[in-house]
Amino acid sequence: MAEFEKDINNIIKKINDEIKAFDLELSNIDSIIEQDLELLIEDYKCKIDTTKIDLDSIKMKYKNLLKMKKIEAIQRAKSKLLSIKEDITNSFPDQIDYNFKKEYLEKFNNKTSSPLN
Amino acid sequence: MLREILSVIIEYIKLLQDFVDNATSFYIVYIPLDFFFAFITSYMSFTFYVLNPSRTKAHPSIDDIIRFARKIEMLDKNLKRNITNYRINSSLLTGFVVTAFIVLQFNKLNLISSILWSFLGLYALRDPIIKGIQGTLANDLYSEIGESINDSKNDYKSVIESVDAKIKEEIKPYIRDDFEKE
């Protein structure tokens, strides 16, 4: 049973780490999108006639689309991870480490957001 | 655990004595054979009825595994509390009854002794079964997490590719003559 408890707590820790990484990505989303777009047009910079077309306007045109799609992808993955975490929390309450339980209860009592956020 | 198993064996022998007036050497061979069949059939029916209760899916889903790992854990606790006095749920009951009938078909022993041996077989197998399920569950959960993250990356990658194609199309007319237009 100890091995299983270890697995369960490692899984919860992994989910928490991944969610934190996603949150970090969301907080830096503008610079990430900027970098991605820069990479996309980098190859064309030396090939096009910049007097006829403005690459910055092209970047601006797709920036919002990329940002929206990236946020959607992250939110989808986050909600999937949260649902796995909720399943584990509900299914194996006895195996979950005290710290995770405490975190769960604090967030639930504060009702600031979803109890497992 | 040994004491519990021994108590079941003693109960079993007492029951046999009640039902069989003249025990012969035949039963010395018969009892291990009964145990063997009960062991195998209880494992089979347990796996069939408990792990896959809907009996419609080839493999149990992750929700099934979570639900039944929990159920087995509860069963394990109950078994540990008192082997002769535990509550069984309908899936298990079905499994046990089927086991008992299969054993009965094979060796013509009475129903009670078959059920007792099924319990014993199940009890002996509970640790590897629980560990196996827990291991599968942990692996499935890890895979599920990996898949969620990869899905997110792949979704974004496909968007990037489509945007790249759009940009390529848009700037195509403006590529300088000294570069070959793709």
Q: Do B171 and A44 touch (CB under 8 A)?
A: yes
Q: Which residues lie below 8 Å from residue B7, measured CB to CB, with a gap of 6+?
A: B83, B84
Residues 49-78 of A with CB under 8 A from B: 49, 52-53, 55, 58, 62, 65-66, 69-70, 72-74, 76-77
Q: Which of B134, B151, B170, B179 to mutate to test the interface with A (most CBs of A within 10 A)?
A: B134
For the four alpha carbons of A20, A24, A29 and A34, in that order, the dihedral sign comes to: negative
Q: Do A77 and B152 touch (CB under 8 A)?
A: yes
On whether residue B168 sits in a domain, the answer given is: no
| pLDDT score of A111 | 46
Q: Which among B67, B141, B160 has CB closest to A84?
A: B141
| pLDDT score of B100 | 59
Q: Which residues lie below 8 Å from residue B46, measured CB to CB, with a gap of 6+?
A: B92, B95, B99, B122, B125, B129
- Is residue B88 within 8 Å of residue B66, measured between CB atoms? no
Contacts A70 to B, Cβ<8 Å: 156, 159
For the four alpha carbons of A106, A4, B66 and A78, in that order, the dihedral sign comes to: positive
Contacts B152 to A, Cβ<8 Å: 22, 73-74, 76-77
- What's the N-to-C CA distance of chain B in angstroms? 76
Total number of residues shown for chain B? 182
pLDDT in tens, A6-38: 888 888 889 999 999 999 999 999 999 999 888
Q: Do A66 and B167 touch (CB under 8 A)?
A: no
On whether residue B179 sits in a domain, the answer given is: no
| pLDDT score of A24 | 93
On whether residue B131 sits in a domain, the answer given is: yes
Contacts A41 to B, Cβ<8 Å: 167
Which of the pair, A74 or B107, is modelled with greater confidence? A74
- Token pair of B134 as six digits: 């827990």
| pLDDT score of A99 | 65
SS3 A43: helix
Amino acid at B91: S
| pLDDT score of A27 | 93
Contacts B171 to A, Cβ<8 Å: 44, 48, 53, 55, 58
| pLDDT score of A31 | 92
Q: Which residue does chain A place closest to B179, by CA atoms?
A: A47
Which of the pair, A86 or A27, is modelled with greater confidence? A27
Q: H helices within chain B, ranges in order?
A: 2-19, 26-46, 62-81, 90-107, 111-171
Compute the nearest-CA separation of A101 from chain B (Å). 18
A36 in contact with B, Cβ within 8 Å: yes
Band of residue A43 on the pLDDT scale cut at 50, 70, 90: confident
On whether residue B88 sits in a domain, the answer given is: yes
Q: Indicate the number of domains in chain B.
A: 1
On whether residue B160 sits in a domain, the answer given is: no
Low-confidence residues of chain B, pLDDT below 50? Answer: 21-23, 25-26, 53, 55-60, 79-91
- Is residue A63 within 8 Å of residue A37, measured between CB atoms? yes
On whether residue B172 sits in a domain, the answer given is: no
Compute the nearest-CA separation of A74 from chain B (Å). 6
On whether residue B181 sits in a domain, the answer given is: no
Our CA dihedral for A19, B138, A7, B134, rounded to 10 degrees, sits at 150
Contacts B145 to A, Cβ<8 Å: 11, 14-15, 18, 81, 84
Contacts B67 to A, Cβ<8 Å: 91
Q: Do B155 and A80 touch (CB under 8 A)?
A: no
Q: What residue numbers bound the domain in which B67 lies?
A: 2-154
On whether residue B16 sits in a domain, the answer given is: yes
